[in-house]
Amino acid sequence: MERLKVRDLRALLDFLRRCYAAQDLDEFVAALTSGLADLIPADITGYAEADLQNRWIRLRGNPADFLAGCPLGTQGAERHIEEQPVVAYYLLTGDQRAYRISDFVTHCQLHRLGLYNDFYRPLGIEYQLSVPVVAEPHVLTRITCSRNHPDFSDRERLLLNLVRPHIAEARRNAETLTLLKQGGGESGPGLLITEHGRVGQTDARSLALVQEYFGPVGPMNRLPPSLERWIKHQEGLLEARADPPPPRQSLVVERQGKRLTVRLLPGPVQRLLILQEQRTSLHPASLEPLGLTHREGEVLAWVARGKTNDAIATIFGLSYRTVEKHLENILRKLGVENRTAEPVNKNETVGSRD
């Protein structure tokens, strides 16, 4: 692999710090497109979200008014969404590395595409380097660097490949913060502000999560040691170094049917910790809004884990017939019909018995 020059590495670290510090998605996109333009010179640096099923594209970039030069706007790209060579290759292979358009088609072949004539040509785009950062069902989000000339170099492709995992993680942070600002509710993410290794500001729920997963907060609101060590390690990744840094990682801790994910947003003095807890198994209480009793919720939770009626009866000290009755009530309340009316493989039916 080609080694980065010192000035490239410094620019890379500065760019990553700006992306990781974004406080919401809009700020993230602005930091990304303006900062990447300094790292990889381009006429247009874009953040493109494309719904490949419903055929719409949302583009934001640097300069902000770059679409003013295209009479059709994004419609020119939407008409020919399947013609983009890098996107077509990604959909075929799932390869998430950075590629140039010229890696797949010649200049003459590009000029024959409707995508070029309706979208690229009005914007003066002859060369493009891009990389996917988020792939959701039907929606692909890419970072694009476009210019009139010259084509992008192997060094520039190396840089884009190096920043891709960082961009993906920074985007997840910004997305979670956006959810927080919109009001995540009781089940949404929590926020904890730390300063010099101490809890500075938080809410009761977030503080409870810290204590549940990492242990008690120490004297003078000192963070639990394991959490403080993780923060220092993550922050150290973007300090001056001789090689490109590995991407920051969320901290994930598992506890009996639950998972806590911690994301770090650093600052000059204060650090923001985003705390998000999720259940990893079905919980009886979460089923009560569906009209199930607590016991029925417990039975369904064990069914979801693959337990047979006999096993469930043993767990609760019930008779087999009582478990069957609970399951009949569950199916009726959930509006599921004929689940046991037709004989099927005993391992595939909810009401099966060993």
Confidence of residue 177 (pLDDT cuts 50, 70, 90): confident
Mean pLDDT for 178-200 is 77
pLDDT at position 327 over 80: yes
Predicted pLDDT of residue 45: 98
Side-chain-side CA neighbours of 222 within 13 Å: the count stands at: 7
Predicted pLDDT of residue 219: 93
The whole-model pTM stands at 0.71
Lowest mean pLDDT among 18-22, 62-66, 138-142, 310-314: 310-314
Mean pLDDT for 199-224 is 92
Mean pLDDT for 180-198 is 75
Mean pLDDT for 49-68 is 94
Predicted pLDDT of residue 186: 53
pLDDT at position 349 over 70: no
pLDDT at position 133 over 80: yes
Could you give the percent of the chain with pLDDT greater than 90?
A: 51
Sign of CA dihedral 23, 29, 35, 40: positive
Do 118 and 72 form a contact (C-beta atoms < 8 A)? yes
Mean pLDDT for 206-216 is 93
Lowest mean pLDDT among 114-123, 202-211, 324-333: 324-333
Token pair for 201: 């500001």
Burial of 127 (0-12, 13-18, 19+ CB in 10 A): buried
Do 19 and 170 form a contact (C-beta atoms < 8 A)? yes
Q: What is the DSSP string of 115-179?
A: HIIIIIHHHT--EEEEEEEEEETTEEEEEEEEESSSPPPHHHHHHHHHHHHHHHHHHHHHHHHHH
Q: What is the spatial distance between Cα 170 and Cα 174, in angstroms, rounded to a whole number?
A: 6
pLDDT at position 154 over 80: yes
Residues 6+ apart with CB under 8 A from 28: 19, 22, 170, 171, 173, 174
Predicted pLDDT of residue 354: 38
pLDDT at position 115 over 90: yes
Secondary structure letter of residue 18 according to DSSP: H
Write out pLDDT tens, residues 85-100. Answer: 999 999 999 999 999 9
Do 288 and 294 form a contact (C-beta atoms < 8 A)? yes
> Higher pLDDT residue, 36 or 337?
36
Mean pLDDT for 238-258 is 86
Predicted pLDDT of residue 343: 32
Checking phi first, is residue 71 left (phi over 0); if not, alpha (psi -120 to 50) or beta? Answer: alpha
Q: Which domains are present in the chain? A: 6-181 (3.30.450.40), 188-279 (3.30.450), 282-354 (1.10.10.10)
Predicted pLDDT of residue 147: 97
Predicted pLDDT of residue 178: 86
> Higher pLDDT residue, 290 or 157?
157
Could you give the percent of the chain with pLDDT greater than 70?
A: 89
Mean pLDDT of the chain: 86
pLDDT at position 347 over 50: no
